[in-house]
Amino acid sequence: MSSTSLAIVTDAWTPQVNGVVKTLQKTRDALEQSGYQVTMLTPADHRTIPCPSYPEIRLALRAGPAIRRQLVALAPDHIHIATEGPLGLAARRYCLDNGLAFTTSYHTQFPEYVRKRLPVPLELSYAFVRRFHRAAAQTMVATPSQQRLLEQWRFGNIVRWSRGVDTEDEMCHWRWPCT
């Protein structure tokens, strides 16, 4: 019997050390322990440039064709898009072009982050992020406050998802996509 396959697409990955990377590593490990086949699609597989004002983050260049090839070759049962960067945008486009359902997660208050670095109105950044997540079957958030924030900005299909994964806890049962 073959296991269920999942592709997780993320612009945030090692060698970065941050909460998103740690969350995704723990999620991958817990899913694999539960029998899922998990493939991470990350900047490591792409030519990248440093993100302006945050060079530790590497942004993939011309990610669309490579992501398309990877997803066609993998033919995963489920696709999860963890970030709104170049890889996430490319995976979203692939899913939409091919009528594939996907989930997303909202990890970082990206609009506020952009606002601190550039004079971009929050309304504009939230409109972009809302549009990105709107097509997802579900958008996962970690906390009630994060859920309320996105609901205030008119996001839909939000579900709570604990990022604190304890694989030793017998109450921890993984299902994908989450329900």
Instruction: Please indicate whether residue 147 or residue 51 has the higher confidence score (pLDDT).
Output: 147
**Token couple for 170:** 């017998």
Alpha-carbon distance of 124 to 118, in angstroms, equals: 12
Alpha-carbon distance of 65 to 104, in angstroms, equals: 21
Instruction: Please indicate whether residue 177 or residue 157 has the higher confidence score (pLDDT).
Output: 157
Alpha-carbon distance of 79 to 142, in angstroms, equals: 19
Residues in a beta bridge with 39: 7
**Token couple for 28:** 């991958």
Residues 89-145 pLDDT 10s: 999 999 999 999 999 999 878 788 778 888 889 999 999 999 999 999 999 998 899
Of the pLDDT bands very low, low, confident and very high (cuts 50, 70, 90), residue 163 is low
Which helix (H) or strand (E) segment is 9 a member of? strand 5-9
pLDDT at 2: 58
Alpha-carbon distance of 115 to 125, in angstroms, equals: 8
The amino acid present at 113, given as its one-letter code, is Y
| DSSP class per residue in 30-54 | HHHHTT-EEEEE-GGGS-EEEETTE
pLDDT at 55: 83
Residues 50-72 pLDDT 10s: 887 778 888 899 999 999 999 99
5-160, what's its fold?
Rossmann fold (3.40.50)
Tokens 């604990």 sit at which residue? 162
The closest alpha carbon to 84, from 176, 9, 7, belongs to 9
pTM of the model: 0.86
